[in-house]
């Protein structure tokens, strides 16, 4: 008998450390990087993740200007309907400062256990 629970693909739970919503089968939280559950086979098995989408960019206001910014992530389904919308960060950039933003989508095969 297996000690692991069977979960539906895409099932989620809340990280007890940072309160982020994570996949139920995650061993480690992708946001805070803390362990969520003990997995005795964590060192012997590897789950291949693929990043089919990654973009990175840097913004810097022109000399003498201060920019305010909103970092917003929007996810849409195939019909163009908004599935999720999250304001991640807001801030201001004084002259001479810059910010670099990176967005990556990691995918892994869903496996029913």
55-81 tens-digit pLDDT: 999 999 999 999 999 999 999 999 999
Q: What is the pTM of this model?
A: 0.64
Confidence of residue 4 (pLDDT cuts 50, 70, 90): low
* Cα 107 from Cα 18, distance rounded (Å): 21
Average pLDDT, integer, range 96-111: 87
* Cα 107 from Cα 10, distance rounded (Å): 11
Q: What angle do CA 103, 46, 31 make, to 5 degrees?
A: 35
Q: Where are the domains of the chain?
A: 9-47, 48-107
pLDDT given for residue 64 in this prediction: 93
């Amino acid at each position: 008998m297996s000690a692991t629970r069977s979960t539906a693909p895409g099932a989620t739970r809340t990280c007890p450390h940072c309160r982020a919503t994570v996949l139920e089968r995650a061993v480690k939280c992708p946001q805070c990087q803390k362990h969520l559950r003990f997995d005795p086979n964590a060192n012997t098995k590897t789950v291949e993740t693929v990043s089919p989408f990654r973009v990175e960019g840097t913004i810097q206001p022109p000399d003498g200007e201060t920019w305010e910014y909103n970092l917003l992530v929007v996810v849409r389904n195939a019909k163009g309907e908004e599935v999720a919308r999250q304001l991640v960060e807001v801030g201001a950039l004084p002259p001479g400062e810059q910010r670099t933003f990176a967005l990556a989508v990691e995918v892994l095969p869903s496996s029913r256990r």
